[in-house]
Amino acid sequence: MLSLARRSTIRKPSRSLQSSDVDTVITVEDNVVKARGVEFPNIWLRDNCQCSSCVHDATRQRLIDIFEIPQDISIRSSEADAGGINIEWSDGHKSYYKNKFLHNATGTFRERAIVRQGLRSPSLWGSEIKDNPPTVSYEDVIHEDSHGLYTLLSNIRTHGFTFIDSVPHTTSTPTESLLTRISFIRPTHYGAFYDFTADLSSKDMAYTSVSLPAHTDTTYFSDPAGLQAFHLLSHTHGTGGASLLVDGFKAARDLYDEDPDAYRILSTVNVHAHASGNDGISIQPYRGFPVLSHDAATGFRVQVRWNTADRAAIELPVSETGAWYSAARKFDAVLKRQQNEYWEQLTPGRVLLFDNWRVLHGRSAFTGKRRICGAYVNRDDWVSRWKMARWGQEEVLGRLAAG
């Protein structure tokens, strides 16, 4: 049983990710390649030959069927050079393995997760973040050659959210353009780019004026939305409708510190969810998921799924569900602590964009006509964008077989 992470902190990727620092010594002894004391199965090496007859140059997809190659394939000859090692296989095929490639493959699960998951040491926050929330300007993000998109993605990967200021707001078009700079918008049964008011046009309480406690969205999808954006375009003839943010990773760490047993229950008991308001629809994930999910290889916190309104079955014998409710009650109390709540009144021109796998959101009740636009972006798509911005294509693709 992996120890559940107290912290999802990681060392920031050090320079050891740079090829120039890799001083891995590769040896071939008795038909076995070794690096850093690790023996590479010949079949693994053959499967991961990177030559253009084994990997499609344009698509980076594997061209060979490794299962057509004998399991006991052996090394006919080998020759090392400064950057790696040349191997001629018993079937005559020739491969070249860079030092860095083999070095990466011998890393710990923690080291290998950093690039694969686009990890960055999370900066956990509470209500104090109000004094200096992560922010980037629209002009810095919207232009191809700007650094602003990197800053936007870095803010989200570090803090779980960012504001984008000075977004034109006479129409919703600039907001949509801003979001598509990250990746394509994820359509759902609410539509794609959403622009909503309290008209129950979709049978969900978001389309009403009631208060919504801190929650994560789309817990009823097997793969909940990755990013969510809100841009308040107008609010007339009424008051209220303040936005709430809570750092779910910070709340999880608080729970771990205060009640590790409750943390364990919320990390192991699966919970189901549903979206059943719209006619003819009842969306549920293919399986239950715990409130707190962790990376299987490293134990890092990966996701918070918390939505009391959309929750369905608790995956326990009903007579035993009391333990889950007790644990969830404790987490709920942590989430509702004033020091964990960041309240902000959104205003036209200021877009809120957050990681729906980490940051919970909510709102206070309101009166009048309140119009918000925004969209969801898939988790894998925005993390892909982040990884490429942080490490670049060569580093990311160079770790596919090692991550």
Ligand X SMILES: C[N+](C)(C)CCCC[C@H](N)C(=O)O
Ligand Y SMILES: O=C(O)CCC(=O)C(=O)O
Give yes or no for a contact between 91 and 60, defined as CB atoms under 8 angstroms apart: no
Length of the chain equals: 403
For residue 341, state whether it binds ligand Y (rule: CB under 6 A).
no
Q: Please select the residue that binds ligand X; options are 101, 125, 138, 196, rule is CB under 6 A.
A: 196
Position 4, amino acid: L
Task: Pick between residue 125 and residue 230 the one whose CB is nearest to ligand Y.
Answer: 230
Q: Which helix (H) or strand (E) holds 359?
A: strand 359-363
CA pair distance 122, 6, nearest whole angstrom:
13
**Interface pick for ligand X out of 161, 307, 353, 357 (rule CB under 6 A):** 307
* Residue partners of 319: CB distance under 8 A and separation at least 6: none
Q: Which of residues 189-208 bind ligand Y (CB under 6 A)?
A: 206
Note whether 310 binds ligand X by CB under 6 A. yes
For position 120 contacting ligand Y by CB under 6 A, the verdict is no
User: Looking at beta carbons only, is 151 or 307 nearer to ligand X?
Assistant: 307
- Phi and psi dihedrals of 88, rounded to 5? -105, 125
CB nearer to ligand Y: give 296 or 309.
309
The SS3 call for residue 95 is strand
The site for ligand Y, by CB under 6 A, has a size of 8
> Rounded to the nearest whole angstrom, what is the least distance from the CB of residue 68 to ligand Y in the complex?
50
Q: Report the distance separating Cα 209 and Cα 212, nearest Å.
A: 9
Considering only 212, 283, 333, 401, the residue that binds ligand Y (CB under 6 A) is: 212
Q: What would the x/- binding string for ligand Y be over residues 351 to 380, using CB under 6 A?
A: ----------x-x--------x--------
Q: According to DSSP H, which parts of 78-180 are helical?
A: 99-105, 109-116, 138-142, 148-159, 173-180
The residue assigned the tokens 């900066």 is 123
Is residue 357 a contact point for ligand X (CB under 6 A)? no
| SS3 call for 373 | strand
Whose Cβ is closer to ligand Y: residue 290's or residue 374's?
A: 374
For residues 294 and 363, which CB has a smaller minimum distance to ligand X in the complex? 363
The one among 217, 247, 254, 341 contacting ligand X by CB under 6 A? 217
Among ligand Y, ligand X, none, partner that 194 touches (CB below 5 to 8 angstroms by kind): ligand X
Beta-carbon neighbour count of residue 97 at 10 Å? 23
Selected binder of ligand Y within 42, 151, 155, 243 (CB under 6 A):
243
Least distance (Å) between residue 338 CB and ligand X: 23
Structure tokens at 275: 């979206």
**SS3 state of residue 272:** strand
- The encoded tokens of residue 281 equal 């629809």
Per-residue x/- mask for ligand X, residues 127 to 156, rule CB under 6 A?
------------------------------
| Spatial separation of the C-alpha atoms in residues 255 and 253, rounded to whole Å | 5
Supply 134's token pair.
């992560």
- 243 touches which of ligand X, ligand Y, none (CB within 5 to 8 A by kind)? ligand Y
In what helix (H) or strand (E) does residue 338 lie, and over which residues does it extend?
none
Determine the Cα–Cα distance for residues 113 and 94; give it in Å rounded to an integer. Answer: 30
Beta-carbon neighbour count of residue 129 at 10 Å?
Answer: 19
Q: Which is nearer to ligand X, 87 or 360 (CB)?
A: 360
Q: Are 226 and 380 in contact (CB under 8 A)?
A: yes
155 binds ligand Y (CB under 6 A): no
Distance in angstroms (rounded) separating the CA atoms of residues 56 and 45: 17
Number of C-beta neighbours around residue 158 at 10 A: 16
x/- string (CB under 6 A) for ligand X, residues 156-195?
Answer: ----------------------------------x---x-
Site size toward ligand X, by CB under 6 A: 10
Residue 310 interacting partner from ligand Y, ligand X, none (CB closer than 5 to 8 Å by kind): ligand X
The CB-of-4 to ligand X minimum distance in angstroms stands at: 26
- Tell me the closest approach of the beta carbon of residue 274 to ligand X, in angstroms: 10
Residues that bind ligand X (CB under 6 A): 190, 194, 196, 204, 206, 215, 217-218, 307, 310
Residues that bind ligand Y (CB under 6 A): 206, 212, 217, 230, 243, 361, 363, 372
